Structure 1
Amino acid sequence: MHQKFGLRIGKYSLQDLQKDLIAGLIVGVIAIPLGMAFAIASGVKPELGIYTTIIAGICISLFGGSKFQIGGPTGAFIPILFGIVMSYGLENLLIAGFLAGVILCLMGIFKLGALIKFIPRPVTIGFTTGIAVIIFTGQIPNFLGLSNVKKHELFLDNMREIVQHLHSLNIYSVGTAIICLITILVTPKILPKVPGQLVGLVFSTLMATFLYPNHVATIGSTYGQISGVLPHFNIPTITFDRVTHLIQPAFVIAVLGAIESLLSAVVADGMTKDKHNSNKELIGQGIANMVTPLFGGIPATGAIARTATNIKSGAVSPVSGIIHGLVVLLVLLLFAPYASKIPLASMAPILMVVAWNMSARRVFYNVLATKTGDSLVLMVTFLLTVFMNLTVAVEFGLILAVIIFTKRMSDIMVTVKILPNHENDKMESGIVTEKHDCPQLSIYNIEGPLFFGAAQTFETSIMNTINYKPKILLLRMSKVPFMDTTGESYFSSIVKDFSKTGIVLVSGLNQQPAAILKKTGLYDLIGEDHIFEHTNDAIDYALSQVNRTKCLGCKHFAFRECQMYSKSNEIENKSPHLFNGRRKVEIESRNAPI
């Protein structure tokens, strides 16, 4: 055991095993009702949820990158899996799960784990809350005991079905559901270490069985008896046509599984001060989702609530996750016949509480209250998740987030004409006027990333203000951290257009933009002798290139030298030392290189 887990847990003692046994037992007991409930809500038989809990739970603990991760079926997958079952059937769901496992493995192998963090938080909060709404409302028929309610893929169709069948309300189902719900809510307050879901499930089942038998729908009456045997190994028939047909839902399963599992791992890190391996975690999730369908299981991922419970119960290693799977297996073999007597009304409150807890209500309201672009992304993702499907919601949410981000980045791109302020030796834009500007030297301060979203604005800002064609154009670029090829193209257009009649100087060029200019050849076109580290050096060079004849009589006085240039250009010839190296003091502070 030490060799098997040594890379992740170091030395492993008997005391550690005892802690893992307790944690695994507790989480295993909690996972049983959840596994069945998630399976039923996904449109498959409850035992498939148990199979998934066993196999995926063990595989994720064995091969994953987090010590404390508990894997299995989760609520986030419910609308996706239900939609696949409705559209493609159970066998195709298993194939989609297998393909998702392959995608997850590839994501881990190619070290894409870090890319998950680039999914905007409003998108994840939007679809998570949307899923919570779908789960919660999807349990209303079971809570009320409505009969002959058909399940649909679209939210509005399901709501219409509920309204049309309200007349079939079963008071016994409502009573059973309320008993279970109250027990779930009260148990943690009285017995904090006892899983409320299991207590509520057992208590309400006993009440229904002995007080009003045959008055409520049960797992057995709806789905048949739960088999207390091990799942059979079966390789589904995978064809090229099926792969192309199922690759989109498989990709959605993989992405959502990656997001939830890595979020769960991050939560575990925060609770334990440990550090997970994100790429290894993706590979572990991939292996689990490739193996589980071979035994009839549905897609699985890291479960945040069960992982947190595992840590709070004292787990110290992945052994607790393996024990949790073995506990579920033991319960399946010993108590499966009794599970068939569980009322569907008892399962409904369990899922409703799960939905309520995963809805991220406070964060949702906080983001919404900002009334920014993030609020729009949040609402679009949420509404599309509820009224369309998760695939459309995530796609549109991401596209909208990218558009808003691009707009924000383009808005912070500032291109402004500047001159030195002789009073404080700083470069400023406010002092540039029609009467205080150099006709021969134009200096522009450029701030922000020069990329496709801002490049055209950058070019227009400069070209529209230099129609009079000064001799020298100085571009101050110390605050341009990034340039893409579109930005380079517009930058090149300015340089080539202006170089026909004048000189282009650049100061403060950062490493990344410089590398782009060198790759495209624009760096050499500008000329290394025209690229300066500091703006003051560039101004010194520029003033040495101006036409002194045009300076005679000029009253703009943009630079300190202008008064001398305006009176006579002979002063420089008589006293050249006055103009050598003193701009660093007169134009800009030595302590603020640009």
Structure 2
Amino acid sequence: MPTMSARQYLLQFVPKLHTVLREGYGWRELRADAVAGLTVAIVALPLAMALAIASGAGPEKGLYTAIVAGFLISALGGSRVQIGGPTAAFIPVVFVVIQKFGFGGLILCTLLAGLMLIGAGLLRLGTLMKYMPQPVITGFTAGIAVSIFSSQVKDALGLQMGTVPAEFFARWTAYAQHLASAQPAAIGLTLLGLAAIVLLRWRKPKWPGFLIALLVCTGVSVAFGLPAETIGSRFGDLPSALPVFEFPHIPFERTLELLPSSFTIAFLAGVESLLSAVVADGMTGGRHRSNGELVAQGVANVGSALFGGLPATGAIARTATNIRAGARSPVAGMLHAVFLLAFMLLLAPLMRYVPLPALAAVLLVVAWNMSEHQHFRHTLSAPWGDRLVLLLTFLLTVFFDLTIAIEAGLIAATLIFMHRMAESVEISSGVRSTDDDLHGGDPVRRADEEQRNRLPAGVEVYQISGPLFFGAANRLDNLLDQFFEPPKVFILRMRLVPMIDASGVHAMENLARRCRRRGIALIVSGLQPQPNRVLADMDFGERPGQVHFVSSFERALKLAASLAEKHPA
């Protein structure tokens, strides 16, 4: 792998904003970005408040996050059109952290996650995100959707109960115990909000359905004096001032307890932001800088925490809205944050009248969209291993913990991948089986058999097909036990082995050791570059009379004939 120069390394972190300004930026681009930024701000306004409330925080925390983190993600990020802010993926983990450790604990969690993201970007781990198994992503995404849905039942039905428990079973048990306290007004507003959103998506898909639904529900609630809980009745008046930089009390003594949640937040932020950037590239034909995007996400999360906000990441739906609205550059995302700040300053006195059932309706739609039920069902038709990973991740996300779900899903996916790779490795002697005779075999197998027919007396050959890694290395253990009479020379063909690891080298050393004890000369033929380099680095080389390396099977045959003649039976 060629060494990266310092300049190439640093270029990965140059913000796309710098690239855009260097290429030239005029009034036409500014006008297009301003329209796109305003459009996204209108969409983000109700979402930011709803996501914060669902996370167990005040609505102003969501606005602070969208303003501060949204601005920094666009200004420093590696995507031209990425929109950042709070997202639904964080709701379960943020809710649990606030319940267990308070908002100060969440601030520490977000700070740690931001530092982890910066470190991941500087270590160039952004490119590794493409190896994330899709069943894991689908599983925890669908599980988060179920968690969001279950978290909104209280506000959607207007249940008269205390704090909603974090655990799934305890939560639904509490709902069942308080079901008799459901309020018809709250249920009516929830249904009205859902109907407005669905109708607008069907008839006017370009209109800001979430915001219009909130306005309709708020108007009905105020006009008829409905007894439904509102933002003002639960949280008081929203601040109508700029978010203030502060360093709140943080329980640093509980850092170790918070590390798993911090890792989960960093993981979700990294995966979702890079997925959003990939979606944006597909829609615009551009190309994002993944490592630079991770660093920007890290800085944005640190900034959000220091201004009293929530974790943030790239938001796929808002990014897509930004693109469809005609965004040309990161300036659109920066203006989206500025417009949100203006809305907060001007509309804060009016937001107290927004009914919480209307925000619950918004999040119920978000949960439905996030569930990706069609993709979930499609994955259930995949091979058994993918189905296992999907269901394991989904069930652990819903019933236990998102951190455990991600870890277990990744471990299961890794083990299944190793099993599949090990099963794909074939070690054969070249003898055609009965089934091959019946079906005529294939040209490669026939060629191998013709070559085998030319073997000198006392020479045996086996060929490995596939990577010789730790999952398949033990397949070499019993090769010499296949023979009734030990051969004088054993040829191991490796032209179809693209990769070998330390376990594979260890298995070859064991094979060479057993050959030496039985007086068998070992010939290795057709090594590819990677196995050749690894074997050399690990000091597995030529040993005259015992281990020989040749470039082709033809040369192996000639050498084998010579060695067999020197060691007659």
User: Is TM more than 0.5 here?
Assistant: yes
* 480, 499, 510: which one aligns with 2:528: 510
Following the alignment from structure 1 to structure 2, what is the Cα–Cα distance between the partners of residues 476 and 373?
31
Stretches of structure 1 lacking an aligned partner (at least 5 in a row): 552-594
SS in 2 for 1:181: helix
The amino acid that maps onto 1:175 is G
Asked if structure 2 preserves the Cα contact closer than 8 Å seen for 1:264 and 1:302, the reply is: yes
- State whether structure 2 residue 74 is matched by structure 1 residue 61: yes
What is the root-mean-square deviation of aligned Cα atoms in Å? 2.5
Question: What does 1:253-402 correspond to in 2, within 5 Å?
Answer: 253-402=265-414
Among residues 453, 459, 473, which one is paired with 1:441 in the alignment?
Answer: 459
Deviation at 1:529, TM superposition (A): 8.8
Aligned partners of 1:100, 1:219: CA distance in 2, in Å?
A: 29
Q: Distance in 2 between matches of 1:13 and 1:424?
A: 63
Note closer, same or farther for the CA distance 1:535–1:271 as it changes in structure 2 (3 Å cut).
same
More deviation, 17-26/366-375: 366-375
Q: Which residue is 2:8 aligned to?
A: none
Residues 549 and 184 of structure 1: is their aligned pair in 2 closer, same or farther, counting only changes over 3 Å? closer
Tell me, in whole angstroms, the C-alpha distance in 1 between the residues paired with 2:144 and 2:560: 62
Q: Hey, what's the Cα distance between the residues in 2 that align with 1:431 and 1:479?
A: 16
Q: Which of 36, 41, 51 is matched with 2:49 structurally?
A: 36
- Residue 528 of structure 2 aligns to which amino acid in structure 1? N
* Partner secondary structure for residue 57 of structure 2: coil
Q: What is the rounded CA distance, in whole Å, between the counterparts of 1:526 and 1:266 in structure 2?
A: 54
CA separation of 1:336 and 1:527: change in aligned 2, threshold 3 A? farther
Counterpart in 1 of 2:24?
11
Structure 2 counterparts to residues 555-594 of structure 1, below 5 A: none
How far does residue 291 in structure 1 lie from its aligned partner after superposition? Answer: 0.8
Q: Structure 1 pair 540/38, CA: closer, same or farther in 2 (3 Å)? A: same
SS, match of residue 522 in structure 2: strand
Deviation readout 1:69-110 (Å, 9 max, x if unpaired): 000000000001001111111111011101111111111111
User: Relative to structure 2, which stretch is displaced further, 134-143 or 373-382?
Assistant: 134-143
Unaligned runs of 5+ in 2: 1-14
What residue number does 1:583 align with?
Answer: none
CA distance in 2, matches of 1:153, 1:87: 10
Answer with 1 or 2: which has the greater Rg.
1
Using the TM superposition, name which of 473-482 and 463-472 deviates more.
Answer: 463-472
CA contact (8 A) 2:476 2:511 kept: no
Q: Does 1:23 align with 2:36?
A: yes
Q: CA deviation at 1:449?
A: 1.1
Q: What SS does structure 2 have at the residue aligned with 1:515?
A: helix
Q: Give yes or no for the alignment of 1:417 onto 2:417.
A: no
CA distance in 1 between counterparts of 2:196 and 2:545 reads 78
Shift of 1:430: 9.7
SS of 2:491's equivalent in the other structure is strand
Give aligned-pair identity as a percent.
40
Normalising by structure 2, we get a TM-score of 0.91
Which of 38, 45, 61 matches 2:58?
45
Structure 2 CA distance for aligned equivalents of residues 474 and 113 of structure 1:
43
The 1:526–1:64 alpha-carbon spacing in structure 2 relative to 1, beyond 3 Å, is farther
The answer to whether the Cα contact below 8 Å between 2:108 and 2:252 also exists between their aligned partners in 1 is no
Instruction: Work out the number of aligned pairs and report it.
Output: 545
2:211 maps to 198
State the distance in 1 between where 2:420 and 2:456 align.
33
Cα gap change, 1:336 to 1:417, in 2 (>3 Å):
same
5 Å matches for 1:181-260? 181-213=194-226, 215-237=227-249, 241-260=253-272
Asked if 1 retains the 8 angstrom alpha-carbon contact of 2:516 and 2:546, the reply is: no
Cα shift at 1:318? 0.6
Query: Match for 2:324: what amino acid?
Result: K
Query: Does structure 2 conserve the Cα–Cα contact (< 8 Å) formed by 1:448 and 1:480?
Result: yes
Judged with a 3 Å threshold, the aligned counterparts in structure 2 of structure 1 residues 479 and 472 are, in CA distance, closer, same or farther, namely same
1:171 aligns with 2:199: no
Query: Structure 1 residues 430, 284: closer, same or farther in 2, change over 3 A?
Result: closer
SS of alignment partner, residue 340 of structure 2: helix
- Aligned partner of 2:421: which letter? M
Contact 2:111 2:301 survives alignment (8 Å): yes
TM-score with structure 1 length normalisation?
0.87
Distance 2:242 2:152 in 1: 29
For residues 295 and 375 of structure 1, do their structure 2 counterparts lie closer, same or farther at Cα, with a shift above 3 Å needed?
same
User: What's the CA shift for 1:437?
Assistant: 8.5
Letter in 1 for 2:469: F
Structure 1 residue 244: Cα displacement: 2.5
Structural mapping, 1:107-186, within 5 Å: 107-186=120-199
Q: Tell me, in whole angstroms, the C-alpha distance in 2 between the residues paired with 1:240 and 1:468.
A: 69
Q: 1:108 to 1:4 in 2, by over 3 A?
A: closer
Per the TM alignment, residue 237 of structure 1 is displaced from its structure 2 partner at its CA by: 4.5
SS at match of 1:546: helix
Compute the displacement of 1:4 (Å).
9.2
Q: Which residue of 2 aligns with 1:70?
A: 83
Q: Deviations over 1:3-24 (max 9, x none)?
A: 9934145211111111111100
> In structure 1, what is the Cα distance between the partners aligned to 2:98 and 2:254?
14
Q: Give the 3-state SS of the residue equivalent to 2:495 in structure 1.
A: strand
